[in-house]
Amino acid sequence: MKYAFEEAWNVFSYPFFRLLRLAHEIHTQNFDEQSVQISDILSVKTGGCSEDCAYCAQSVRNGVKMPKQPMLDPETVLAAAREAKGRGAGRFCMSASGPRPSSEDEFEKICEMVRSVKAVGLETCVTLGSLTEAQAAKLKESGLDYYNHNVDTSPEFYPRVTSTRTIEDRIRTIEIVQQAGINVCSGGIVGMGETNEDRVKMLVLLANLTIPPRCVPLNKLVKIPGARADDSKPIDDFDFVRLIALARILMPKSYVKIAAGRNTLSESTQALCLFAGVNALFSSEKLLTVDNIKDNADADFFRRLNLKIESPLL
């Protein structure tokens, strides 16, 4: 089903509780409302990226002095994955900075990481930038379950986010990954100066892909001094909940995830998000270069909401 912006905007503008009821009904038709999927993420290569994304601390073109971390060795990554599993994570995500894999040797290390993390009994996810068809096939052969490649924002606002790639470049990589048989994790960042109309257009873009993303992460911008997006106005919490609800309505069979910025939301707002359709969360203390929730905070939060952690689908 293809959606028009006007149709999606109309739904986004429903009275708040009507919107949440509709989203919740759709959620319970497709998922267990008391289950949540938990992921951990590790930056396996940090800093030194040649792209100019306005929100990113790892870009050499921003005014952020981010120390470069070379590619971690697979043994270090495996140890982190085991720790993540011990904390209840069902999926382990590995992120390498840069517009694309920088060398065949580094790409082979990533494939080795995927194989070893998979062997631990975790779902695997990587984000490496743009891929070729051959690289996507190799990752699939290595056992990769998910590839993260966000579209970031609406097509209209995208040029204000970065000039070193286009949104069409992002969509092409998504298509390559899906053709290789790998699930796609793709969403965006809100609070960069875009409008609610831009946010809705982003969700319409994702919902109208040939195959909608299996997982849709929504990130609240974490302001980083020196980055160009640093002086943006934060998104209103109720608008963020509306966006969650719309994502659930437009993509009823996708996991909807709160990613960066969750630590800026009150527990009550997070509970509204869960009611509106969120069923995936990052539960690690660090999300690449920014802070997330504190250790063990989720265990008590889940207990009070009667939530259970979903087992990995291996």
In this prediction, residue 266 carries a pLDDT of: 93
* Number of domains observed in the structure of the chain: 1
Residue 33 belongs to some domain of the structure = yes
In this prediction the pTM is: 0.92
Rounded alpha-carbon distances, angstroms, from residue 12 to 80, 117, 313: 39, 39, 32
**Chain centroid, CA 256 distance in Å:** 9
Q: Is residue 45 part of a domain?
A: yes
> What domain range includes position 25?
5-309
Sign of CA dihedral 275, 147, 99, 282: positive
Looking at the chain, the whole-number percentage of residues with pLDDT higher than 70 is 88
**What is residue 225's predicted lDDT score, i.e. its pLDDT?**
65
Give me the mean pLDDT over the 171-179 stretch: 97
Q: Give the lowest-confidence range in 144-148, 196-200, 289-293.
A: 289-293
Q: Could you give the 3-state DSSP secondary structure of residue 34?
A: coil
314 belongs to a structural domain? no
Q: Which residue, 305, 252, 297, 254, is CA-closest to 275?
A: 305
* CATH code, domain with 163: 3.20.20.70
Cα–Cα distance for residue pair 82/236, rounded to 1 Å: 37
pLDDT band at 61 (very low <50, low <70, confident <90, very high): low
